[in-house]
Structures are given as structure tokens and as C-alpha cells.
Structure 1
Amino acid sequence: MTKMITLGLSSIFAGFILLAINQLAYASGEPLALKGYDTVSYFEVGRAEQGDENISHVWNGKRWHFTSERHRELFVANPEGYAPAYDGLCAWAVSKGYLQSAIPTAWTVENGRLFLNYSQGIKGQWETRKRANIRAGDRRWPNLKEAAARFGL
């Protein structure tokens, strides 16, 4: 009987630990955009930079981190101008008609738009036909956007 009580209490304790970890991961209540990278840095600095969790802004259901107050102010004034195309999903995949996550370090700014890709290798493939891939992605994105929303991407 003592073993069963100990096992039961251990299970409850483990459940509380998992709950606490989950709450810490989503303490802000919103998913983190760009894995915490500063979207303004791509445009202003020309490189991917990890943002500061203490300098953030919630937009479009996601929490965005920035490297400086100035970057946050620029984003707040024009979020659509700094947010990545295709809601930050892989530009190559979208151009081919499907959804795939992307990494913030496989990026390209083209004609004032930020595009992310799944990997550096995929980014290289996407860039070989960049203009055609952007046209294809822009054409396919309206339908894919609905699917992305349904799946919480």
C-alpha cells in the first residue's frame, strides 16, 4: 500500500513539474516569432541577430523580440514591412505548394521583403530561381495561409 501511495504521489509531482515547464515555455502566452530573432535586424543591420526577451512586442498573435528599443519602435510603426513573407514559413516550400518550417539564419531580403528557408541548402536552391520562386510563392500563399492557420503554423 505504501508503494502505491508513493507511486501515486510521484506521478502527481511529475505532472506538476511538466505543467510548470510548459508554463515557463509559454510564460508570455504567445508563441515566439522567429525563434526570438530580431526581424528588423535583417533590414537594418544586414544579419540575423538574436533579440532580447526584455525588448518585445506582441503582433499577429506572436511575441517578437528585438535587439534594441529602436528596432521595436520601427517594427511597431510598420509590422507588415518587417515581418517575414509567408508568416515566416519556408519560402522554397511555399513556392512548391506546401508548408514547412524555416530557420531564422537561412534568410534573404529581396525587394524589401524578408524570406526564410528551411536550411542553408534549401535557401541556395530557392535563390537559383529567386524571382520565379517568389512569384510562385505569392500565387500559392493565399490558399496555403488558410491551411497554415488551421494547423497553427
Structure 2
Amino acid sequence: MKTIKNVILLGLALVWGVLAQAQIDPVNKDGVAIGGYDVVSYFSGKAKKGTKAHAAKHDGVTYYFASKANKNAFAKSPSNYLPQFDGYCAWGVGAKEAKFPINPETYDIVDGKLYLFYNGDFNGEPFNALPDWKDRTAELKKAAHANWPKVKNSK
């Protein structure tokens, strides 16, 4: 019984560890954007995972959608749905002039544009960039757009 309990606790600890570090690159090694999340779904108020059945390519990147309707909306006008800063953390670009990975479930819609953020473990401590962004949206948004041309080509 004690062994089963220990196995369950270990499993929960591993799951928590993975979730706490759920940062991803905006485009993975397979060319899939935003961890497979549907970029159109953000505008309905909830980030949803897309499926391969509703995939579309744009500028060499594959986007997954939760529905055919979302795929069609994206195909009609991709620029309405693409995340700012190629999907990198908007706070990182604005506050640190750097590219940070993102947690696809941490986002903000400002003036009809999608901004994604880092939210996870950083050097052993939890860090969520969204609250600072929310406190200083106008300042950080302006800085991020000014910084992006030089940050875009950095590593």
C-alpha cells in the first residue's frame, strides 16, 4: 500500500514539474505554432488546442485549429490572428529586449491583437510576466513594438 502511495505521489510530482515548466517556443522543431493552440480561439476568450485535422500553413509555419470555422477565419485574414512578436513573450520584448518562450495559455488581447507571455518556473521560482504587462500595458506595448525590429533577429 505504501509503495502504491509513493508511486502516485511521484507521478503527481512529475506532472506538476512538467506543468510548472510548460514554456514553449513559438514555433516548435516540427514547425507547429504556439504548441498547437488555435490562434483564432484566443479571440473568443479561451485558448483552445487545435487538431491536425484542422491544420493550415502560413509563411511556412503550421497552425492547428479547433474547428473548420476557425481555420477558415484564419485563412481569410491571418494577420488578424497572428500573435505579436512572432509569438514570443511580449513582456520579454518590451521589458527586457529579449525573446522569451511562452506559455500558450497566458495571453492578452489588446486593441484586437494577440500577445503571449512567459508563465512558469524561472531559476526555481514561479514567474508570470502577464501581471506586470497588465500593470504597464501602454508602456510595455510601446517599448515592445519599438524593440522588436532589433530583437527579432537576435538569438
TM-score of the aligned structures, taking structure 2 as reference length: 0.73
Matched residue, 2:135: 128
The CA distance in 2 between the partners of 1:88 and 1:121, in whole Å, is: 16
Q: Which runs of 5+ in 1 are unaligned?
A: 1-28
TM-score of the aligned structures, taking structure 1 as reference length: 0.74
1:125 is matched by which residue type in structure 2? D
- Measured after TM superposition, the shift of residue 62 of structure 1 is 1.1
- Residue-by-residue CA offset, 1:122-144 (whole Å, 9 max, x unaligned): 11111110111100000000111
Q: Report if aligned partners of 1:30, 1:61 keep a CA contact under 8 Å in 2.
A: no
Task: Name whichever structure is richer in helix by fraction.
Answer: 1
The answer to whether 1:71 aligns with 2:70 is: yes
Matched residue, 1:19: none
Matched residue, 1:145: 152
- Residue-by-residue CA offset, 1:72-124 (whole Å, 9 max, x unaligned): 11101111110000011001000021111111101000100000000172111
The answer to whether 1:48 aligns with 2:47 is: yes
SS at match of 1:116: strand
Higher-Rg member (1/2): 1
Matched residue, 2:58: 59
Q: Among the aligned pairs, what percent are the same residue?
A: 29
SS at match of 1:53: strand
SS at match of 1:83: coil
Q: 1:65 to 1:50 in 2, by over 3 A?
A: same
1:36 is matched by which residue type in structure 2? G
SS at match of 1:49: coil
TM superposition outliers: structure 1 runs of 4+ over 4 Å:
none
The CA distance in 1 between the partners of 2:144 and 2:129, in whole Å, is: 14
The CA distance in 1 between the partners of 2:144 and 2:135, in whole Å, is: 15
Matched residue, 2:34: 34
1:39 is matched by which residue type in structure 2? V
Task: Name whichever structure is richer in strand by fraction.
Answer: 2
- Residue-by-residue CA offset, 1:32-88 (whole Å, 9 max, x unaligned): 101000000011x21100101110101122110001111011101111110000011
Matched residue, 2:107: 107
The CA distance in 2 between the partners of 1:75 and 1:113, in whole Å, is: 14
Aligned length: 119
Matched residue, 1:4: none
Q: What is the RMSD of the two structures over their aligned residues, measured on CA atoms?
A: 1.4
Matched residue, 2:81: 82
The CA distance in 2 between the partners of 1:140 and 1:59, in whole Å, is: 24
